[in-house]
């Protein structure tokens, strides 16, 4: 009973000291600072803090100036996000978290590594992409505001072209809209080797064939730069007007995508449902998206001779291929043959940022999106992870209980007997082995997904996405023998 009273009193004292340290922080060197004070960095910590500030101000300021002065705006995103992250960390350090952060071992070294990652490894841009995806998922109203702004910018550019070209541009846009219904039906001929266009959510009615401003702008710009458009404007407009129109069209048509936007919806109801993968008659499906090179696929004899459309890729052979960039994975849809994800994902596209601040991608037409469906299973690694998790919880409970009753107080003493020394080694070794086993089984079952079963795959050449449109697709998931479901998703290439 006395030990419980002592523990309660100690916890109260620590809570009071922590509250005082957070509300009225003092330097640890000041009198009456208490146990929760602002620790001054020493040794490597002091060097790391100085380097973090020095690199942020010197190199960050230089790179931001170059980004502002460069004609392209693709590098502005990186450095704007970097400064926002730096200011956020400063606010965090200088307010309520300053005391706690300064007490964390190697905090200043970790902060230096984080700043280096933000600056030199496109970390700030990756943070921005992560926040952007979450923003799109959490706030539909904010997503609508961003989309409306994009359409307003496109409409403003379109109005400039219309004001220069006059009725010639207006009539051509009207022709595009009249052809839209017919084009929707004919587009399936381009992709019949791996799927078809999915018009489940689109009403093909005569009064519903209008293009949004962004698509109008792109279509009219592409037409102006075509041989037909050039001949038409030469017969209709003067040379000065032609030069202005071509200048506007050239800025629109130059397309260097950085991101593949994926809206993963569901499988197609009915014939498109997944095969049974589990004893319960269901499947626990998730989808993996990754970019691969068409040239590498050709070397593996996975590409048809006539074109770059791929019907099926041998998963064992795919492991030999080098990825252009990272792979993204959807969440798992548990216990269903007709999963619904409604999830937004992004895959970065390999390219380079020029010195003029413009992102360039010359390999987009030779790049293929591989789409794989997997069934999440709990095999030997999954069982091992569950066992080690249970043993870890049991180990923690036993150690806490033993500490409360004073059974293992000798572990913290310096002068102990040989028997106690062996007990100490045994406790540390068992704890380490349990932690190592949990980490290894977690890596194999959760990260590498070694227990999962392959359902089927499909591929999409990114060349069909270069028209800037959002493409609703129904992809056939296949293995060597048969179709294993039809996946509904929307794909679009984006510059931001």
pLDDT at 315 over 70: no
Residue ending a domain, choose from 74, 104, 136: 136
Tell me the pLDDT tens digit for each residue of 209-232.
456 787 788 888 888 888 888 888
Say yes or no: 165 and 247 in one domain. Answer: yes
Q: What's 473's DSSP letter?
A: E
* Structural domain includes residue 6: no
* Structural domain includes residue 5: no
Q: In this structure, what are the phi and psi dihedrals at residue 437, rounded to the nearest 5 degrees? A: -65, -40
In whole angstroms, give the CA distance from residue 367 to residue 361: 11
Q: How confident is the model at residue 55 (pLDDT cuts 50, 70, 90)?
A: confident
List Cα–Cα distances, 172 to 37, 251, 350, 457, in angstroms: 71, 19, 35, 40
Say which range, 36-45, 273-282, 289-298, 482-491, has the weakest mean pLDDT.
36-45
Closest CA to 321 of 305, 302, 297: 297
Assess contact for 384 and 295: CB atoms under 8 A. Answer: no
Tell me the pLDDT tens digit for each residue of 161-199.
888 888 888 888 888 777 766 665 566 656 667 778 877
Strand 483-494 and strand 259-267: pairing? Answer: antiparallel
Say yes or no: 476 and 355 in one domain. Answer: yes
CB atoms within 10 A of CB 36: 21
Q: How confident is the model at residue 289 (pLDDT cuts 50, 70, 90)?
A: very high
Say yes or no: 19 and 146 in one domain. Answer: no
DSSP secondary structure string, 185-232?
HHTHHHHTTTEEE--TT----GGG-PPPHHHHHHHHHHHHTSHHHHHH
In whole angstroms, give the CA distance from residue 471 to residue 490: 5
Q: Give me 141's structure tokens.
A: 């109203």
User: For position 12, what pLDDT does the model report?
Assistant: 53
Mean pLDDT across 133-137: 73
Closest CA to 77 of 46, 29, 118, 114: 118
Strand runs labelled E in 13-84: none
Say yes or no: 222 and 347 in one domain. Answer: no
In whole angstroms, give the CA distance from residue 66 to residue 357: 8
Tell me the pLDDT tens digit for each residue of 13-30.
555 555 555 555 566 655
Q: Give me 228's structure tokens.
A: 């037909």
Q: Which domain holds residue 239?
A: 140-253
Say yes or no: 284 and 367 in one domain. Answer: yes
> How many folded domains does the chain comprise?
4
* Structural domain includes residue 73: yes
Say yes or no: 266 and 351 in one domain. Answer: yes
* Structural domain includes residue 114: yes
Say yes or no: 303 and 359 in one domain. Answer: yes
User: For position 190, what pLDDT does the model report?
Assistant: 62
Q: What is the CATH number of the domain that holds 346?
A: 2.60.40.150
Say yes or no: 311 and 185 in one domain. Answer: no
3-state class (DSSP) for residue 293: strand
Say yes or no: 148 and 168 in one domain. Answer: yes
Which residues on neighbouring strands pair with residue 107, listed in sequence order? none
Model pTM score: 0.67
Say yes or no: 281 and 355 in one domain. Answer: yes
In whole angstroms, give the CA distance from residue 163 to residue 336: 54
pLDDT at 7 over 80: no
Percent of the chain past pLDDT 70, that is, above it, reads 70
pLDDT at 312 over 50: no
Residue ending a domain, choose from 253, 276, 311: 253
Q: How confident is the model at residue 287 (pLDDT cuts 50, 70, 90)?
A: very high
What is the chain's alpha carbon radius of gyration, rounded to the nearest angstrom? 30
* Structural domain includes residue 8: no
* Structural domain includes residue 417: yes
CB atoms within 10 A of CB 80: 16
Residue ending a domain, choose from 117, 136, 155: 136
Q: In this structure, what are the phi and psi dihedrals at residue 338, rounded to the nearest 5 degrees? A: -130, 70
In whole angstroms, give the CA distance from residue 489 to residue 197: 10
User: For position 358, what pLDDT does the model report?
Assistant: 64
Say yes or no: 234 and 357 in one domain. Answer: no
Closest CA to 438 of 397, 400, 398, 387: 387
* Structural domain includes residue 43: yes
Say yes or no: 90 and 174 in one domain. Answer: no
* Structural domain includes residue 405: yes
Q: In this structure, what are the phi and psi dihedrals at residue 355, rounded to the nearest 5 degrees? A: -65, -20
pLDDT at 326 over 50: yes
Assess contact for 376 and 449: CB atoms under 8 A. Answer: yes
User: For position 33, what pLDDT does the model report?
Assistant: 58
């Amino acid at each position: 009973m006395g030990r419980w009273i002592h523990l309660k009193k100690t916890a109260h004292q620590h809570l009071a000291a922590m509250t005082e340290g957070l509300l009225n922080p003092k330097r640890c060197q000041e009198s009456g600072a208490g146990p929760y004070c602002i620790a001054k960095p020493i040794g490597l910590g002091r060097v790391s803090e100085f380097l973090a500030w020095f690199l942020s101000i010197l190199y960050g300021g230089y790179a931001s100036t170059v980004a502002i002065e460069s004609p392209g705006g693709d590098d502005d995103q990186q450095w704007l996000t970097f400064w926002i992250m730096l200011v956020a960390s400063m606010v965090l350090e200088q307010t309520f978290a300053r005391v706690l952060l300064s007490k964390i071992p190697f905090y200043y070294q970790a902060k230096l590594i984080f700043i280096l990652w933000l600056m030199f490894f496109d970390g700030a841009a990756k943070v921005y992409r992560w926040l952007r995806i979450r923003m799109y998922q959490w706030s539909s109203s904010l997503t609508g505001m961003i989309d409306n702004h994009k359409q307003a910018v496109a409409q403003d550019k379109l109005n400039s072209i219309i004001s220069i070209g006059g009725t010639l541009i207006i009539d051509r846009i009207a022709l595009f809209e009249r052809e839209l219904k017919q084009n929707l039906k004919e587009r399936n001929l381009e992709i019949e080797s791996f799927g078809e266009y999915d018009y489940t959510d689109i009403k093909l009615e005569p009064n519903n064939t209008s293009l949004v401003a962004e698509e109008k702008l792109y279509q009219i710009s592409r037409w102006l730069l075509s041989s037909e458009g050039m001949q038409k404007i030469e017969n209709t407009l003067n040379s000065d007007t032609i030069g202005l129109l071509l200048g506007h069209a050239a800025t629109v048509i130059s397309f260097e995508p950085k991101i593949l936007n994926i809206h993963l919806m569901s499988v197609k109801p009915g014939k498109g449902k997944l095969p049974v993968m589990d004893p319960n008659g269901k499947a626990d499906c998730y989808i993996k998206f990754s970019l691969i090179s068409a040239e590498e696929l050709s070397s593996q004899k996975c590409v048809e001779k006539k074109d770059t459309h791929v019907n099926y890729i041998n998963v064992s052979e795919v492991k030999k291929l080098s990825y252009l960039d990272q792979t993204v994975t959807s969440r798992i849809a548990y216990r269903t043959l007709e999963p619904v994800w409604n999830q937004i994902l992004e895959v970065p596209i390999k390219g380079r940022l020029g010195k003029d601040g413009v992102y360039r991608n010359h390999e987009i037409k030779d790049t293929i999106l591989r789409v794989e469906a997997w069934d999440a299973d709990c095999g030997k690694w999954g069982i091992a992870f569950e066992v080690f998790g249970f043993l870890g919880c049991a180990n923690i409970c036993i150690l806490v209980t033993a500490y409360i009753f004073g059974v293992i107080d000798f572990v913290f003493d310096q002068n102990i007997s040989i028997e106690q020394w062996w007990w100490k080694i045994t406790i540390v070794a068992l704890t380490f082995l349990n932690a190592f086993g949990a980490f290894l089984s977690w890596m194999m079952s959760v990260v590498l997904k070694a227990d999962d079963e392959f359902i089927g795959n499909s591929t999409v050449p990114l060349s069909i996405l270069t028209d800037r449109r959002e493409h609703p697709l129904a992809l056939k998931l296949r293995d060597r023998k048969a179709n294993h479901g039809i996946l509904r998703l929307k794909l679009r290439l984006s510059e931001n």
